[in-house]
Amino acid sequence: MSPFKPTILTLLGWLIASVVVAADRPNIVWIIIDDMSANLSCYGEETVETPHLDALAESGLRFSKAFVTAPVCSTNRSAFITGMYQTTIGSHQHRSGRGELKIHLPDGVRPIPEMFQEAGYHTAITGWPNKGRDSGGKTDYNFEWDRGMYDDPDWGKRSPGQPFFAQIHLPGGKHRGGNIEQSRQFAQRMKELFGESVDPAKVTLPPYYPDHPVLREDWAAYLDSVKLTDKFVGDIVARLRSEGDLENTVVVFMTDHGISHARGKQFLYEEGIHVPLIIAGPGIESGKVRDDLVEHIDIAALSLGMAEIDIPDYMQAKDVLSDEYEPRTEIYSARDRCDETVEHMRCVRTQEFKYIRNFLPNRPHMQPNRYKDQKSIVVALRSLFEAKKLTEVQARIFQSKRPEEELYDLRNDPFEIRNLADDPEYQQRLLSMRAKLDTWIEESGDRGRESEAMYDSDMAVYVNSQRRSPDQIDVLKRNIALMKRWQSRSK
């Protein structure tokens, strides 16, 4: 007997039925910010005010301990769009699968926009402040995916009564640029927009950074980008309200990782992995703060749950809003290759401690990397290091080697300055955290280092990019050659 083949009328009936079922479900809106830590007023930031985000938090739920599973965009975005650890699905090398060799999701694993579509939702992805009319938003997934899983940049083009799942992507910390000249230009724009910009003299830098004018100006411009982001969030909420959608829309505000700085983006310290997470809308208790540990991938499961869409059994994300949810006792995060720079780091964090394992301890934290090395803040820090003007703590990221293991007591050492891995008093804690990480690596199916063939495939794309100048290409080639030499020496 031939397999059943639905007719056009049958398919139309299924579509109408799914839309009718979906019509009673809330809209889901993700507001996703680049390169920003939890420097919001409602998280304790005192230098700038974020009234729109504060209001969102007051009307909903704020998580004080949300963490990304990867401190760089493409790997983390590959994770939260699937609800899976990037190390499990093989998308953990930054900007990978872009060359001749491709990455495919494991059998059965799917991006959640496909699930929203099948449930009758209109799926949109957009940038801002274009208001969704004509711009696509950031995807940056490392695996092959069907562009058809997004219907349109603008949720306003959905069918009457149809709910929508929309992602709105904002530049966030990227507004300030990568060098001090761009930061100053951005600060001037903020003066014109708001009548003022953040005074660098009022900036408080973390103790692992020196008090230096370039770092102060950069951090001030970063805080200006926080203020601008808050304005855009206000604009998004205003649009939802004006179009009559706000009361039936769950808004999820988050960032894709922490601030782009020397110890932030790309690293597993709190500055790189601790992010804001605010959820507001129907069914969400207002004015509540949760202090339990949540992982960034959990937004996939909670979003499906809010839309009454079945959460796949394979998904590693947890619906943290479910009545049956059991709080996590720890979170995990991983750093792997970023651009041309080969890396392999893993961490586990509990409420009180963090354990980091450096699989390449014979390399410095600040390995050569074209993207980071051109930033004014890194240039300034490296110059101070070479002039021996950094403290021991500030100089650690430039040392030729690093410890194989790092252990931090976060309640007594929130800036992760004192490594306790060799302290006799903390050996039991070290063994416990080490065992947790080992278990996670095994049970999650961590893919580890990428093959030389995949590295070569992606580096060909990097080197041949028409966006890069000859000087940039020369730097890339030198860095790639260095990575290969170190690999040949098992360094």
Q: What is the tens place of the pLDDT at every residue in 5-50?
A: 344 443 444 445 444 445 589 999 999 999 999 999 999 999 999 9
Report pLDDT for 435: 98
State the CB neighbour count (10 A cutoff) for residue 145.
19
**Own/partner pairs, 152-155, CB within 8 angstroms, 24+ separation:** 152/122, 152/124, 153/124, 153/125, 153/126, 153/127, 154/124, 154/126, 155/27, 155/122, 155/124
- Mention every residue, 6+ apart, whose C-beta is less than 8 A from residue 417: 207, 208, 393
Report pLDDT for 135: 59
Per DSSP, the residues of 228-258 read HHHHHHHHHHHHHHHTT-GGGEEEEEEESSS
CA 286 to each of CA 58, 177, 241, 283: distance values in angstroms, whole numbers, following the listed order: 6, 36, 18, 9
- pLDDT tens for the 491 residues of the chain, in order: 333 334 444 344 444 544 444 558 999 999 999 999 999 999 999 999 999 999 999 999 999 999 999 999 999 999 999 999 999 999 999 999 999 999 999 999 999 999 999 999 999 999 876 544 445 789 999 999 999 999 999 999 999 999 999 999 999 999 999 999 999 999 999 999 999 999 999 999 999 999 999 999 999 999 999 999 999 999 999 999 999 999 999 999 999 999 999 999 999 999 999 999 999 999 999 999 999 999 999 999 999 999 999 999 999 999 999 999 999 999 999 999 999 999 999 999 999 999 999 999 999 999 999 999 999 999 999 999 999 999 999 999 999 999 999 999 999 999 999 999 999 999 999 999 999 999 999 999 999 999 999 999 999 999 998 788 899 999 999 999 999 999 999 99
Report pLDDT for 12: 47
Report pLDDT for 465: 83
Domains of the chain: 8-326 (3.40.720.10), 335-449 (3.30.1120.10)
Cβ-in-10-Å burial (0-12, 13-18, 19+) of 59 comes to middle
Token reading at 75: 């790997």
Token reading at 430: 């070290």
Report pLDDT for 3: 33
Task: Identify whether the C-beta of residue 36 lies closer than 8 Å to the C-beta of residue 258.
Answer: yes
Q: For residue range 76-104, what is the model confidence (pLDDT) as tens digits?
A: 999 999 999 999 999 999 999 999 999 99
Report pLDDT for 129: 65
3-state secondary structure 24-48: CCCEEEEEEECCCCCCCHHHCCCCC
Helix (H) or strand (E) holding 33: strand 27-33
Task: Identify whether the C-beta of residue 277 lies closer than 8 Å to the C-beta of residue 294.
Answer: yes
